[in-house]
Amino acid sequence: MTLADQPKVAAEPVFTLENKTALVTGAGRGIGKAIARRLAAAGARVMINDLDEAMLRESEAEFAATERVQHVCGDLTDPSTPEAVVQATLTAFGSIDIIVNNAGYSWDNVIQKTTDEQFLAMLEIHLVTPFRLLRAASTFIRESAKREIAAGQRVMRKVVNITSIAGIDGNPGQAGYSSGKAGVIGLTKTLAKEWGRYNVNVNAVGFGLVQTRLVQDLNAAGAGMEMHGHHIRLGVQPSLLESVKTACPLGRLGTPEEAAGAVLFFCSPLSDYVTGEVLICGGGLHF
């Protein structure tokens, strides 16, 4: 029998996230928004969080299945907000099956010009915030897993923490950002060991340069953000972007949709036997 003679098998979806609830932070724009869109398209109910209420409402309105996508606004660096976000998700959807710790920003300077406030702000958003959010979700995750295991069920849950090639290779001018992103790798590997018994896969995705406001032209109008009373410049010099493209084996920056694809893998059943790992989505670029 030749290949042409073999019976055709109907193609089936590789996976579905129906009946799963995902919580995605920093989902008002950019990569977080693309992640939320991918998860919703795969069938998940999605709670999106961001600091900007207007941006959240705009993002929520763009999703086709709006009844399955809701938002909760809040500054995650406020110690009370992670618990509130977790409770809002449980109230809205009754469960949490996927957590994507994506919220973050950069506040760069060489070390001699970096203040304590600036350095600690990077640790707060990139490392302390994911810790607080996961701690807030731990009661639901542990109690749910115990019930499921007692009933002879294996229900896999997913945590995806976002890191960066700066957290692995370092990057000049980013002592705080790189330290926070390196720290989240340690958090990821520790939680993978703690939560394996609860059937939770805990992994991280490290991004290279992706087309978001963090890599826009530093000199462009509006290239910045307001945070806790500070105007923070965002972006890079155009000449640096060109040199990065040259150094990148794929010869270009990534798109938010491509970044979201790497996260989707760790949120899906395809990664049920993968935990404690870091997947680099950077087009082969290393600093």
Q: For every residue of 122-142, which 3-state class applies, written as one string?
A: HHHHHHHHHHHHHHHHHHHHH
- CB 198, CB 145: distance < 8 Å: yes
Q: CA angle 28-30-34, nearest 5°?
A: 85
Q: Dihedral (C-alpha) 212, 216, 221, 222: value to the nearest 10 degrees? A: 40
Domain residues of the chain, as ranges? Answer: 16-212+255-281
The dihedrals phi and psi of 113, each to the nearest 5 degrees, come to -110, 5
Exactly one of 105, 177, 198, 273 is catalytic; which is it? 177
Q: Which fold has domain 16-212+255-281?
A: Rossmann fold (3.40.50)
Considering just the CA atoms, what is the radius of gyration of the chain in Å?
A: 20
One digit per residue, the tens of pLDDT, for the chain of length 287 reads 565 566 565 556 689 999 999 999 999 999 999 999 999 999 999 999 999 888 888 887 887 656 789 999 999 999 999 999 999 999 999 999 999 999 999 999 999 999 999 999 999 999 999 999 999 999 999 999 999 999 999 999 999 999 999 999 999 999 999 999 999 999 999 999 999 999 999 999 999 999 887 776 666 655 676 777 777 777 777 777 788 888 899 999 999 999 999 999 999 999 999 999 999 999 998 87
Would you call 198 a catalytic residue per the annotation?
A: no
